[in-house]
Amino acid sequence: EDQVTQSPEALRLQEGESSSLNCSYTVSGLRGLFWYRQDPGKGPEFLFTLYSAGEEKEKERLKATLTKKESFLHITAPKPEDSATYLCAVQAVTTSGTYKYIFGTGTRLKVLA
């Protein structure tokens, strides 16, 4: 069964304290792994797409990496404005040849000033 698991569920960091969020997945026919940021009451905002093991992408204080079984979102020297829920998702091919998305339940990040 296709599945995406994120850990930890919640994370509290001091401003400047770097850390990593984990996304492990089991999926047949991976067509991409995505990271999103979601602020309370709003729709998810796209951050990164990774397509193959070994790929890395960076944006400001965020860096996403991908292996064959998991992805990490590294946050370097976070600021309070980085506080949000971070969602991981995969796109997988179905038995009927269509493409579906599976999301993890997210990591709630709180960065304290």
Partner 1 sequence: EAQVTQNPRYLITVTGKKLTVTCSQNMNHEYMSWYRQDPGLGLRQIYYSMNVEVTDKGDVPEGYKVSRKEKRNFPLILESPSPNQTSLYFCASSLATSGAYNEQFFGPGTRLTVL
> Which residues of this protein are in contact with partner 1, per CB under 8 A?
31-32, 34, 41-46, 49, 87, 89, 91, 93-94, 96, 98-106
Calpha distance 63→15 (Å, rounded): 17
**CB of 69: closest distance to partner 1 in angstroms?**
20
- Pick the closer one to partner 1 by CB: 31 or 63: 31
Calpha distance 82→86 (Å, rounded): 10
**CB of 27: closest distance to partner 1 in angstroms?**
13
Identify which of 44, 54, 19, 41 has the alpha carbon closest to the alpha carbon of residue 104.
44
CA 107 to chain centre: 8
- Pick the closer one to partner 1 by CB: 3 or 20: 3
